Structure 1
Amino acid sequence: MNGLSLTGMYVLAALLIGVGLGMGYFIVRSGSSRRPEGGLEWSVLVLSFLVALMGAGFITLTLVGEVTSSPGHESRTVVGEPAPPLHLRLVETNKEKRLSNYKGKVVILNLWATWCPPCLEELPELNRLQERYGPDGLVVVTISDERRETLQRFEREKVNLQTVSGYLPPGQSWPAPYDKVRSSRPMSFIIDRDGRIQNLWRGAADFSQFERAVMPYL
């Protein structure tokens, strides 16, 4: 989530909690016995409790989303393991490549799509990383599962990628663990010079987040 959406979620949650507690307080204070009387008052009290509970649920879901989309907080099951084979074709030349071709380099493997707004926000950051740390042995590999023609048009009209820009060959599906991109993108993997996954996360990151993730391996 970006900062605006997080703020909106927190405001909505606070409003729901406030409305729920306010309704409950009004019902309790309005009765002479300070207890709900009659079916209507009990119904409103239950509704106020549910509204407040919904607000608390929004806060919980937002906090969980912040944690799981941050670098270093994705599933750790593949961290430290060799990066599984992945075949791609280069958008520019249509030449076939393998992820293993970049062994000996530090790799940021970024899985994205042209229709994904967070992916588009992230691309200029990835360009900067390639330009800044390419001489130090960093290779940024960006791969989409869209058609080559779609990616060529995007790079011609929107963003001129300085990365190793590739696409998933037709008829090929994402192998594990890269298949996580089906449910969330962008998704990034940090792979060291020995070809081992050292970090991974879902969601967009900025230049400084990527920089902190790769510096130990450069």
Structure 2
Amino acid sequence: MSQPAFLGLLVAIALLAGFGGYGFYHLGQPSEPAPAQATVTPASSNGVVGMARPEFSLPDLEGTARHISEWDGDVVLVNFWATWCPPCLKEMPAFVEVQEEYGARGLTIVAVAIDEKDAVRDFVDTYGINFPVLIGETEAMTVTRDYGNRFGALPYSVLYDREGKIRFVQAGELHKDTFVRELTPLL
């Protein structure tokens, strides 16, 4: 390899390493505070807010079919996510905290992973997820569309009340303070 080609290769490697380091640095940084008002999403403008939650059934990590009606009577956050999605990973620790704090008052978070079972199991074991996790690849994409996610955004969260009526939708990362603000009046 000639010296100019070798130097070009070194420059390319250095640039890739720099971009990778930048990305990992920002992945670990605290998220910015949530806006003061609720986020308007394609789903809410699409008429999903105020509608009854759609029915669905997906397997859990043990392969047992779980139906969304299992949590009827609870306030439920259905969160569509994936292990390869950086904003999804950023919001999970807050979900664990909120489930722990509000679970006794009737909150259930149901995480629907659009991912492979082994990757999800490793994530759940590593991060101590304390709420139901359902698995689905193609099937989960159908469910997320039924919940108003026309563009396939991840993460995508839908909060519904004890009667099963959708009250709040968030495309993109759901910040803890926004989640608690929308959740509290429903408990």
Same fold (TM over 0.5): yes
Corresponding residue of 1:110: 79
Correspondence list, 1:59-78, <5 A: 71-74=38-41, 75-76=43-44, 77-78=47-48
Contact 2:112–2:140 (8 Å) recurs in 1 = no
User: Which structure exhibits the higher relative contact order, with contacts defined as CA atoms closer than 8 Å and separated by 6 or more residues?
Assistant: 2
* Contact 2:48–2:148 (CA under 8 A) maintained in structure 1: no
The size of the alignment, in residue pairs, is 150
Task: Give runs of aligned pairs for residues 53-202 of structure 1, distance below 5 A.
Answer: 71-74=38-41, 75-76=43-44, 77-91=47-61, 93-156=62-125, 158-168=126-136, 173-175=141-143, 176-178=145-147, 180=149, 183-202=152-171
> Structure 1 pair 116/181, CA: closer, same or farther in 2 (3 Å)?
farther
Offset of 1:88 from its aligned partner? Answer: 1.7
Percent sequence identity is 28
Structure with the bigger percentage of helix: 1
RMSD: 2.4
TM score, norm. by length of structure 2: 0.72
Task: Determine the C-alpha separation between the residues in 1 that align with 2:163 and 2:92.
Answer: 25
TM-fit CA distance, 1:90: 1.4
What's the CA shift string for 1:132-167, capped at 9, x where partnerless?
A: 0000000011111212122112223x4121121111
Q: TM-score, normalised by structure 1?
A: 0.62
The Cα shift of 1:110 comes to: 0.6
2:48 aligned partner, one-letter code: V
- Distance in structure 1 (CA, Å) of the matches to 2:51 and 2:57: 18
Which has the higher mean CA deviation after the structures are superposed, 115-124 or 147-156?
Answer: 147-156
The 2-side partners of 1:169 and 1:115 are apart by 13
Q: Structure 1 stretches of 5 or more lacking a match?
A: 1-65
Other-structure match for 2:17:
none
